[in-house]
Amino acid sequence: MAIEVRIPTILRTYTGGAKAVESTGSTLDELLNNLESAHSGIRDRLVEGEKLRRFVNVYLNDEDVRFLGGLETPVKDGDTVTVLPAVAGGGR
């Protein structure tokens, strides 16, 4: 068993075009480190310092991880992690 990570179009250059990849870990942080070892460069697009970048939304199953525990959010086999680029901007 593993954790499925769904990858948005803009980051599929890191996954050889794959829409979803599998990884493992007990927290989101660990999962992203393991993802990085298979898909070099991807972690940096998601994490800045110790925090998720504000340009991306990361969901554990149906929940935005910002409302869970951020990078410390526990994850387990069978979970799905979805990454979407945040859509935002504004006049100023």
Residues that bind another protein (CB under 8 A): 8-10, 55, 57, 59, 62, 64, 66, 82, 84-92
Residue type, 29: D
Residue type, 67: F
Nearer to another protein, 8 or 74 (CB): 8
Residue 31 CB neighbours (<10 A): 24
Task: Tell the smallest beta-carbon distance from residue 4 to another protein (Å).
Answer: 14
Task: Tell the smallest beta-carbon distance from residue 54 to another protein (Å).
Answer: 9
**Cα separation, 76 vs 90, whole angstroms:** 37
26 close to 60: Cβ distance less than 8 angstroms: no
Nearer to another protein, 54 or 76 (CB): 54
Nearer to another protein, 50 or 62 (CB): 62
